[in-house]
């Protein structure tokens, strides 16, 4: 099982903003693989589906980008996931993988 997290900012003002590329990427994956409808969960919206034999849980936090960790933490604890099971889609890489903070 993998948690795909799309980072971005909520609201119409940010829809086409480059900072929402994480949202756009995860939404495109869910659409491409015909995932279940989105529903409110984990301080955002989530869906589920499979790619090949892998179960995928896409999550779009409903908080602003700087607070998205709250939604991610809820999903990680609920599903008892390890860090290697979380894939984050975002607009830029400003630190090495697993070394931000």
Residue 15 inside a domain? The answer is yes
pLDDT value at position 12?
Answer: 87
pLDDT tens-digit profile of 53-67?
999 999 999 998 889
Residue at 98 is within a domain: no
For residue 94, being part of any structural domain is answered with no
Q: What confidence score (pLDDT) does residue 18 get?
A: 80
Split at pLDDT 50, 70, 90, the class of 35 is very high
Contact criterion met (CB below 8 Å) for 66 and 3: no
Instruction: Give the domain extent around 14.
Output: 2-89
Q: What is the CATH number of the domain that holds 28?
A: 3.40.50.1470
pTM of the model: 0.86
Residue 46 has pLDDT above 90, yes or no: yes
In a domain, 10, yes or no: yes
pLDDT of residue 97: 61
97 is a domain residue? no
State the total domains in the chain. 1
**Nearest alpha-carbon partner for 8 in 32, 27, 34, 35:** 27
Q: So what's the pLDDT on residue 61?
A: 96
Cβ distance 36 to 92 under 8 Å?
A: no
The residues annotated as belonging to the active site are 19
């Amino acid at each position: 099982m993998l948690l795909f997290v799309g980072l971005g900012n909520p609201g119409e003002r940010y829809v086409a903003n480059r900072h929402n590329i994480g949202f756009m990427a995860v939404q495109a994956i869910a659409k491409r693989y015909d995932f279940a409808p989105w529903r409110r969960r984990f301080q955002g919206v989530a869906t589920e589906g499979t790619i090949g034999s892998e179960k995928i849980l896409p999550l779009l936090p409903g908080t602003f980008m700087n607070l998205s960790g709250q939604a991610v933490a809820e999903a990680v604890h609920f599903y008892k996931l390890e860090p290697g099971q979380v894939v984050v889609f975002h607009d830029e890489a400003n630190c090495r993988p697993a070394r931000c903070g």
